[in-house]
């Protein structure tokens, strides 16, 4: 994408705005600063709210969030990579561990192409 890493990072930091580019979010509430250790609550459409923790936030580079449901632990990494001059790459990766992980991981990642496309479109329009 042509939008710079700073623009993508600004969209990541604007947690209440995630609904603009992620259709899998009905409601979301950050419970502190966008920093390692902060929790947020996210409600997917038609589902119960999930509490998720930001377990690793590196300004301008990436954030990793973790959701635990009983024995199942799901981590999603959101990375920004500066490529050739004027090119930014955004990478999402999911790691699910525990009962049901083999089914849940792919289910969570299924909408990543749509989410990333919407993020890129918004980043490029607003950059």
- Of the candidates 37, 38, 39, 33, the one whose C-alpha atom is nearest the C-alpha of residue 14 is 33
Q: What is the pLDDT of residues 111-121, one digit of tens each?
A: 999 999 999 99
Which residue matches tokens 């699910």? Answer: 96
The number of angstroms, rounded, from the C-alpha of 31 to the middle of its chain's C-alpha atoms is 16
CA–CA separation, 91 and 56 (whole Å): 15
Reported as a single tens digit per residue, the pLDDT across 44-99 is 899 899 999 999 999 999 999 999 999 999 999 999 988 877 788 899 999 999 99
Taking each helix axis from N to C end, the angle separating 5-13 and 112-126, rounded to the nearest 10 degrees, works out to: 110
β-bridge pairing 62-69 and 50-58? antiparallel
5-37 per-position pLDDT tens digit: 889 999 999 999 999 999 989 999 999 999 999
Q: 3-state DSSP call for residue 41?
A: strand
The predicted pLDDT at position 126 comes to 65
DSSP label at 47? Answer: S
- pTM to 2 decimal places: 0.88
The span from the CA of 93 to the CA of 27, in Å, is 22
């Amino acid at each position: 994408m042509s939008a710079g890493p700073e623009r993508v990072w600004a969209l990541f930091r604007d947690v209440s705005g995630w609904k603009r580019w992620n259709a899998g979010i009905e409601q979301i509430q950050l419970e502190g600063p966008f920093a390692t250790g902060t929790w947020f609550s996210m409600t997917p459409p038609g589902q119960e709210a999930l509490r998720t923790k930001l377990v690793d936030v590196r300004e301008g580079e990436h954030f990793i969030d973790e959701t635990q449901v009983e024995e199942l632990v799901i981590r999603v990494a959101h990375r920004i990579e500066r490529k050739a001059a004027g090119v930014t790459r955004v990478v999402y990766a999911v790691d699910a561990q525990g009962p049901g992980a083999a089914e849940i991981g792919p289910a969570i990642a299924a909408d990543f192409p749509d989410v990333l496309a919407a993020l890129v479109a918004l980043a490029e329009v607003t950059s």
